[in-house]
Amino acid sequence: MRLARLLAALVCLPLAGWLAGCASGLPARERTPVQWALAPAHDGALGRLAAAPPPGAAPSDAAATRVQPLVEAPLALDARLALIRNAQSSIDLQTYYLGNDATGALILRELQQAARRGVRVRLLLDDFHTAGRDPWLLALEREPFAHVRLFNPFFGRQRNPAQRLFAFVADFSRLTHRMHNKLMVADGVLAIAGGRNVADEYFLRAREANFIDLEVLLGGALVAELQSIFDLYWNSDLAYGIEQVTHASAAEAVRPIEAQGDAAGHEDVAPGAAHPPRGAWVSAQIEQGASSRWLAADAGAVADPPDRRPGAAAPHCITARERMAQLVESARESYELVTPYFIPDAAALAQIERLRARGVQVSIATNGMADTDEPIVNTVYNRFRRELLARGVRLFEVSARQIGRSRPLRQRFGDSKGRLHAKLAIIDRRTVLLGSVNFDPRSARLNTELGVRIRSEEVARRLRDALHMDSSEGVYEVVLDPDTRTLRWVSNGPEREVLDEEPGVGLLFRLRMLWLSWLVPLDQL
């Protein structure tokens, strides 16, 4: 879910300057109460799980962060539901996109039930994709222990895409700044961080297309740092209470969230074919009061300032993307990047050149043009492929066609199209960088992002083995013919396939995307 798709629809983009004169801008923010995290509930079910030592942990690991990779979609959804259902004091959820679908309704309903148990719920949503959701959000807000805030909101509460499109153009310089962070903290003792939004396609529950994604469950030392990051955004001047901006009627506001969930026909867990062992389910670990899944690691987090904007007068703060680049510079053996959207800037290309000059193996996995949800981004990425390959970088492109040919992957995705959404970098097979950060100009300059750094060979191994982009049957490797310097796509499946043309993409489609890429400013991609 990105802004490029919206911008590409703007045949009226030249009207932006005129429309800006009609924009209302950001109104004075009514004072909302400053709210801080509650004290961690160490004596609850979640506290006991968070305190469970990793198997075979040494005494020196007692202060380490505890990590569980959440790669399989059913485990990721189960983890969220388990944390919400077992929380005793607080739930803080921050996300860019809450789907108007079964998963979105399910999570809202569970948050409502938690609030009715007396758990303090704080839900912080970026406002870009909330059109039509005000009744749900108001119903949650009006629970005594629940609070909902919108980040950098639209005003006027446009209810259809066309109205929101014009509002976006009219107030472009403000509304292009979006909160892309994904974070959940429960009882101040457990957290989930990574790339997943809260919608069907991130949990293998959509019919047409689903995402390959990942995140981690965290306990121990890092959770307090992530809680502080949530508080920073929650108390930001750009976070408005839902009741300050909505015009929904009182009748709409009391529509029960339960009815929305029932109408959506939700299921508690994703219906995929993968069946992880019972010990992997967070709900089972909570029932048992222990876990054999924890891995001890040294970890840290970085987040962009909520009010980061190009040209702002405030002193520059290091961004999540810049911090990642600093860590990548330390690579001595290998740098593996997995990103759904890849548009390198001059600094990134220079860094790759430095890494290759000192013998660091560099590989990049991204979406193929036929299967990405943002083909305009791929049109720009395509300009860099020959240069990267000439420098010895290995390139892999996820392909729904290849996923359909692989029995294990076909069982997971069914008839739906598989796409990459995971954001991950692994340095020297030991240091893991993950979170919400895409490798594109928007993440670098416009969005706010959240990143987590984990130093652990075992965590790196498990995440690498889970994605195995360099050997997966679901990808093509792009290679450069040494004689003709033409691109070729080579499959990793049992039937080795070599293509001389971009898989699944016709000439007319490529020309249309090329034309649209000229219309959309590069920093919006």
Residue 56: partners with Cβ closer than 8 Å, 6 or more residues away? none
Mean pLDDT, residues 377-389 taken together: 95
Residue type, 163: Q
Percent of the chain predicted with pLDDT > 90:
64
The Cα–Cα gap between 37 and 92 comes to 9
Average pLDDT over residues 335-346: 96
User: Residues with Cβ < 8 Å from 123, sequence gap 6 or more?
Assistant: 93, 111, 137, 140, 146, 147, 148, 149
Structure tokens at 142: 């009006």
Residue type for position 475: V
Q: Rounded to the nearest 5°, which phi and psi values hold at 440?
A: -150, 170
- pLDDT given for residue 278 in this prediction: 79
Residue 17 has pLDDT above 60, yes or no: no
Range with lowest mean pLDDT among 159-168, 461-470, 489-498: 159-168
Q: What is the pLDDT of residues 169-192, one digit of tens each?
A: 888 989 999 999 999 999 999 999
pLDDT at 2: 55
Measured CA to CA, the distance from residue 266 to residue 256 in angstroms comes to 15
Crossing angle for the helix pair 320-328 and 346-357, to the nearest 10 degrees: 20
pLDDT of 437 strictly over 90: yes
Tokens of 522: 């590069």
**pLDDT by residue (tens digit) across 357-375?**
999 999 999 999 999 999 9
Once rounded to an integer, what is the mean pLDDT over residues 384-408? 90
Q: 14-28, 126-140, 172-186, 253-267: which has the highest mean pLDDT?
A: 172-186
Q: pLDDT class for 274, splitting at 50, 70, 90?
A: low
pLDDT at res. 507:
84
Tens of pLDDT along 290-321? 888 999 999 999 999 999 865 554 556 789 99
pLDDT tier at 436 (50, 70, 90 boundaries)?
A: very high
Average pLDDT over residues 428-445: 96
Least confident segment among 115-119, 151-155, 258-262, 423-427: 258-262
**pLDDT confidence band for 277 (50 / 70 / 90):** confident
pLDDT, residue 249, reads: 59
Please report the pLDDT score of residue 410 as a whole number: 76
User: How many other C-beta atoms lie within 10 A of the C-beta of residue 263?
Assistant: 10
Is the model's pTM score more than 0.95?
no
CB burial string 477-511: b at 16+ within 10 A, e below = bbebeeeeeebebebbeeeeeeeeebbebeeeebe
Q: Residue 15: which pLDDT band, with cuts at 50, 70 and 90?
A: very low
Q: List, for residues 41-68, the tens digit of each pLDDT value.
A: 999 999 999 999 888 777 666 668 999 9
pLDDT confidence of 30, banded at 50, 70, 90? low
Average pLDDT of the residues in 126-130: 93
- Residue 11's pLDDT band (boundaries 50, 70, 90)? very low
Of 34-48, 81-95, 239-253, where does mean pLDDT reach its minimum?
239-253
| Residue 24 in this model has a pLDDT that exceeds 50 | no
Q: Please report the pLDDT score of residue 131 as a whole number.
A: 86
Q: What is the CA radius of gyration of the chain?
A: 23
Please tell me the predicted confidence (pLDDT) of residue 304. Answer: 96
Query: Is residue 273 classed as helix, strand or coil in its secondary structure?
Result: coil
Ordered alpha helix ranges (H), 142-178: 161-170, 172-175
Query: Is the model more confident about 178 or about 17?
Result: 178
**pLDDT digits over 192-224, tens only?**
999 999 999 999 999 999 999 999 999 999 999
Nearest to 494 by CA among 372, 408, 393, 366: 408
Q: What is the mean pLDDT of residues 31-42?
A: 91
Per-residue model confidence (pLDDT) at position 141:
94
Residue 296's pLDDT is 94
Choose between 156 and 106: higher pLDDT: 106
Q: What is the mean pLDDT of the chain?
A: 87
* pLDDT at residue number 524: 83
Kindly report the number of other CB atoms within 10 A of residue 36's CB atom. 11
Residue 523 clears pLDDT 90, i.e. is over it: no
Closest to 458 (Cα-Cα) out of 80, 66, 60, 63: 66
Task: Report which of 268, 266, 267, 290 is spatially closest to residue 278, judged by C-alpha positions.
Answer: 290
- As beta bridge partners, residue 44 has none
CA dihedral (329, 335, 336, 342) positive or negative: positive
Buried b (16+ CB within 10 A) or exposed e, 425-448: bbbbebbbbbbbbbbbbbbbbbbb
Q: Please give the Cα distance from 483 to 471 (Å, whole number).
A: 25
Q: Would you list the DSSP string of 393-432? A: -EEEEE-HHHHHH-HHHHHHHTTSEEEE---EEEETTTEE
pLDDT of 506? 85
403: confidence class by pLDDT, cuts 50, 70, 90: confident
Where would I find the H helices in 184-335?
221-234, 242-245, 250-253, 257-264, 282-288, 320-328
- With beta carbons less than 8 A apart as the criterion, state whether 398 and 503 touch: no
Give the per-residue pLDDT at 271: 47
Nearest CA to 259 among 440, 481, 109, 63?
A: 109
Whole-number Å distance between alpha carbons of 417 and 406? 13
